[in-house]
Amino acid sequence: MQDQILAFKMQLKPGHVAEYKKRHDELWPELAAALREAGIHDYSIFLDEQTLSLFAVLKRRPGAEASFDALPQQPVMRRWWDHMAELMEVEPGNQPRQWPLRPMFHFA
């Protein structure tokens, strides 16, 4: 079985680029552990500086669907969303607004 690759877009609010980067550079160890437990082993976020759109790509190990789907209920994930809510567009409950991206090309 192959890793599942997921990609999505989020939106940063103006004036928060440096703080967004800083907070991710200081990612909480307990959040990193929760991401790993959810099967995520490769996760990158890119910034389009003109639009402040954030583009995320992550790889999830096969068989990790249940733990991945439970991630939004993890207390550490909720605390992280609350911590980041002032910097980006969010849904009720502070989950970042996400727009899924459809795969168009992959070169391996």
Residue-by-residue pLDDT tens, the chain, 108 positions: 899 999 999 999 999 999 999 999 999 999 999 999 999 999 999 999 999 999 999 999 999 999 999 999 999 999 999 999 999 999 999 999 999 999 999 898
Catalytic residue (choose from 16, 24, 41, 83): 24
Q: What pTM was estimated for this model as a whole? A: 0.92
Give yes or no for a contact between 88 and 9, defined as CB atoms under 8 angstroms apart. no
Which domains are delineated in the chain? Answer: 4-99 (3.30.70.100)
Non-local (6+) Cβ contacts of 93 within 8 A are: 78, 81
Facing residues of 55 across strands? 9, 46
24 is catalytic: yes
Q: Tell me the C-alpha distance between 65 and 69, whole Å.
A: 6
